[in-house]
Amino acid sequence: MFFLLLPLLVLAVDAQQPLPLNSINTFTTSTSLFGLPASSQLTVSVAICVSEASSARFFLSNSPSVVPAPGGGADVFEIQLTDGSGQWSGSAPSGGLLSVQDLQQGSFQIFVSDNGTTYQVLDQLPLLGDTTSNQTILFSHPFLPMPIAQPTFPNYTLPPANLAAPDIPSSIPNFTLVIAPASAQLSSLPQTACALLNAPSTGSIVGNDPWLRSSEGWRSQWLVDGLSPSTNYTAYVIQDALKVSGPIYFATKSGNFQCPLVYSLPYCPSTAYAVPLPPLPSRTFGYNATSLPDSITLPLLQYMTNFTTMLTTFACGRDLYSPLQTCADCQTHYRTWLCSISFPRCSEPAPGNNGTAASSSSLGTAAQVPLSALQPQPSGSLSRSPNFPNATYDYSSLLPCLETCNAVDRACPYFLGIKCPTTKFNAAESYGVGFIDSGNDDEIGNGITGLAQDRWGNVWCNGN
């Protein structure tokens, strides 16, 4: 036995293909034994790139002289795959070997790392900004958190109303957006970067930039054109060809949806949705800081300036009005609220969700799916926002979530006299009520949906 086995083993070890650290290696059937570099902290992760490769089994040994195979003993580990990828971490002081068995067809990838980087499905999801009939704005998960800057006394200076575009971070992950109609069933592929990057992606990306959307941090923003009306889509964001974020689902609006998108406003960084403004010339993606009329921008900036002036009559940073909140927090929440009421949002009932104006009674019905906080705005009706033109076409407005107002109330000093409407007194006429927090005043949490929008494309109220 030994006579026979030993030369075979040596032969096999000789035939190994070395795997370099920290680079993506793609293989098809031919090679099946790989050499692993020595490291006290080795992470080996594998990903299959097509469903046909799912028969493959991956065995690893952290000793360069033990050929890994099924039932191989103490130093042999099998890497189990979940949704198409799997990993092993441990010590391999003198290197190791990886073997691939039972691969019938298709390709797979191996990534060997000494700092814990692996193929993985991230918990954090991409974020839908909004859609029109043939466009969408999508964001990656935040990749660099940017908490609200807290100035200190005696130089307690708050950001100006017209925020300067912040400096772009020096290191940005390589993000790739993948979109396909729901009919392409991306979610039935292996949920791996290589499988999703190989899938055909629809839509044309007309803009992609890092964007500091909120204190959650920097995200990558995509402006996508060329989609089809009333169609369900699936989207993923792939980071560095290794990490998968998603899927999220969204639907484009119907063909008669006319509201254009507003995006990339430094003074309203989280505004990225459809608004009831006049249509733009085709080839223009939407309204941004350059094209928005001054009649909308200037009053908004003036409200923001006046509010900041009033706020700073308080000895911000010296005296405290709350153990939890600061003037900077107050200003940030006020900006979010001001932007959400200054830019009315257009929407449509989701397919299968016949929206009406939210009221506590419509929310409380036995319907399985709650109705979005939509209010019909027939053509010619008076605009809800004083600086907006009156409607020149029919649309439905999606009301701001009441929580955007309550957040200002909670974060700001009492002397500013901020008062949000209460459920008892008609809050539902101007806000989406009961989605995030329960409709009962002063009760945080326990709303019917718990959020303004979900990964399935439902948007209950405008939470931006």
Ligand X SMILES: *[C@@H]1O[C@H](CO)[C@@H](O)[C@H](O)[C@H]1NC(C)=O
Residues that bind ligand X (CB under 6 A): 22, 115-117, 133-134, 151, 155, 157, 174, 176, 197, 225-226, 230, 232, 241, 251, 264, 282, 284-285, 288, 290-291, 299, 302-303, 306, 349, 351-352, 354, 382, 389-390
CB of 384 to ligand X, least distance (A): 11
Strand boundaries in 259-344, DSSP class E: 261-262, 273-274, 286-287
CB of 426 to ligand X, least distance (A): 22
CA distance 121 to 113: 17
Whether the CB-CB separation of 109 and 98 falls below 8 Å is answered with no
Q: Given the complex with ligand X, which of 158 and 428 has the nearer CB atom?
A: 158
Which strands, in side-by-side order, build the sheet including 395-398? Answer: 345-347, 395-398, 374-377
CB of 128 to ligand X, least distance (A): 14
Q: Given the complex with ligand X, which of 226 and 278 has the nearer CB atom?
A: 226
CB of 382 to ligand X, least distance (A): 5
CA distance 205 to 196: 17
Q: Given the complex with ligand X, which of 212 and 402 has the nearer CB atom?
A: 212
Letter for the amino acid at 274?
A
Question: Residue 361: what are its φ and ψ, rounded to 5°?
Answer: -75, -40
Q: Given the complex with ligand X, which of 28 and 291 has the nearer CB atom?
A: 291
Nearest Cα neighbor of 13 from 67, 93, 52 is: 67
CB of 360 to ligand X, least distance (A): 18
Q: 4 Cβ partners below 8 Å, 6+ apart?
A: none
Whether the CB-CB separation of 446 and 433 falls below 8 Å is answered with no
Q: Given the complex with ligand X, which of 68 and 269 has the nearer CB atom?
A: 269
CB of 36 to ligand X, least distance (A): 16
Q: Given the complex with ligand X, which of 99 and 375 has the nearer CB atom?
A: 375
CB of 219 to ligand X, least distance (A): 15
Query: To the nearest 5 percent, what fractions of the chain are helix, strand and coil?
Result: 20, 30, 50
Helix axes 402-411, 327-342, angle to 10 degrees: 160
Whether the CB-CB separation of 113 and 43 falls below 8 Å is answered with yes
Q: Given the complex with ligand X, which of 70 and 116 has the nearer CB atom?
A: 116
Residue 103 DSSP label: -
